[in-house]
Amino acid sequence: MILAARRLAAALSFMALALFILLPFFQVVQLSITSTLGTDEAQLGSFTLMNYRNIFASPALTASLINSVTYVTLNVALTLLVALPAAYAFSRHAFRGRRAFFITLLAFRVTPPVVLSLPVFILFSQLNLINTPVGIALVHCVFNVPIAIWILESFISAVPRQYDEAATLDGYSTVGFFMKYLIPVIAPGIGVAAFFCFVFSWVEVVFARTLTVTDGKPITMAISNLFGFQTDVGLVMAMTVFSLLPGLAMIYFVRNHIAKGFVVRS
């Protein structure tokens, strides 16, 4: 009896949670298939796929999709490349300045982008990194490298040290050891780190907006630019649906490992 009541309570709370989280998504999808301005083809408020067709009719919108995917992919690759060796060093060595380095990383991770956006813009103007995906991919390292080091370090620390020593005895160089030994054992960790870097880069707005003045606009800015005197809410929501797809795909890929990334050693 008590068990049944408890199960019912658990089921009800889960449904409440699901409703709370999913309701905004239902709203987005619903508006994206509604004619919100009204045309000859589709009356105001009627069902239509016109909004999705309009995305592909606009070169600015399709270009923005490509821009976003480009800088996010570049950022994930760059972040993993620099974070993996650092995470290994962090995991295996107690070196001087370790704590100071850790505090600095953490501080940059939580520094709001708006605080750094002005100097980054000035610096990147001089380096010719404005209006290009490379600039955004680089600047997003400021919060992604720390988070990647943190996640990868906890995965590497779960691998026994004897494992490294065995590889060294086999005569592997550092690069060979990383490629042949370390990366395969911590593959789930790399997946989780890639997931979080992808997500944080994909959702970031302030840097992405500041660094694209005339060209290379990300999807988030393309959506903001749709707002005007008479906003086509349906088109905005159709674009929003597209802006969610890569994130959803990433969640699906790491679904079984998502919670393991943060089991820090106590």
Partner 1 sequence: MPATRLWLLLLPAILTMVLVGVIPLFIVFEYSFYDIFTLDSRVWVGGHWYVDLLTSARFYESFLRSLTFSLVVLGLQFPLGICIALMIPREGPFRTSTLILLALPLVVPWNMIPIIWLSLVDIDTGMIGIALNRMNLTFDYKFNAIHTWALIVAMDTWHWIGLVAILAYSGLASISPSHYQAASIDQASRWQVFRWIQFPAMRNVLLMALLLRFMDSLMIYTEAFGINAGGPAAATAFLTLDLGEEMRGFDYGPAAARSMIYFVMTLFVVWVFLRSSAAQRRHD
**Which residues inside 76-115 make contact with partner 1, applying CB under 8 A?**
78, 81-83, 85-86, 88-89, 92-93, 95, 101-112, 114-115
Per-position x/- string for 38-77, each x denoting binding to partner 1 as judged by CB under 8 A, each - no binding:
----------------------------------------
Sign of CA dihedral 217, 221, 227, 232: positive
Using alpha carbons, select from 169, 166, 149, 168 the residue that is nearest to residue 157.
Answer: 149
Helix (H, G, I), strand (E, B) or coil at 47: strand
Q: What is the dihedral of CA 25, 26, 28, 34, to 10 degrees?
A: 170
Q: In sequence order, what are the residues at sequence separation of 6 or more whose Cβ sits closer than 8 angstroms to the Cβ of residue 243?
A: 68, 219, 220, 223
* Cα–Cα distance measured from residue 128 to residue 138, given in angstroms and rounded to the nearest whole number: 13
CB of 148 to partner 1, least distance (A): 9
Q: Tell me which stretch binds partner 1 (CB under 8 A): 46-54, 55-63, 181-189, 252-260.
A: 252-260
CB of 51 to partner 1, least distance (A): 14
CB of 205 to partner 1, least distance (A): 5
CB of 184 to partner 1, least distance (A): 19
Residue 8 or 251: the one with the smaller Cβ distance to partner 1 is 251
- Is 166 a binding residue for partner 1 by CB under 8 A? The answer is no
**Among positions 55, 65, 76, 120, the unique one binding partner 1 when judged by CB under 8 A:** 120
Q: Tell me which stretch binds partner 1 (CB under 8 A): 22-30, 49-57, 58-66, 183-191.
A: 22-30
* Cα–Cα distance measured from residue 264 to residue 153, given in angstroms and rounded to the nearest whole number: 9
**Among positions 13, 39, 46, 128, the unique one binding partner 1 when judged by CB under 8 A:** 13
Residue 27 or 43: the one with the smaller Cβ distance to partner 1 is 27
- Is 224 a binding residue for partner 1 by CB under 8 A? The answer is yes
**Among positions 5, 20, 40, 41, the unique one binding partner 1 when judged by CB under 8 A:** 20
DSSP-derived secondary structure for 180-231: IIIHHHTHHHHHHHHHHHHHHHHH--HHHHHT-SSS---HHHHHHTT-SSS-
Residue ranges of E strands in 6-61: none
Computed over its alpha carbons, how large is the radius of gyration of the chain?
A: 23
CB of 266 to partner 1, least distance (A): 5
Token readout for 118 is 């002005």
* Cα–Cα distance measured from residue 230 to residue 37, given in angstroms and rounded to the nearest whole number: 8
- Decide if 253 contacts 191 (C-beta within 8 A): yes
CB of 56 to partner 1, least distance (A): 20
**Among positions 123, 166, 179, 185, the unique one binding partner 1 when judged by CB under 8 A:** 123
- Is 235 a binding residue for partner 1 by CB under 8 A? The answer is no
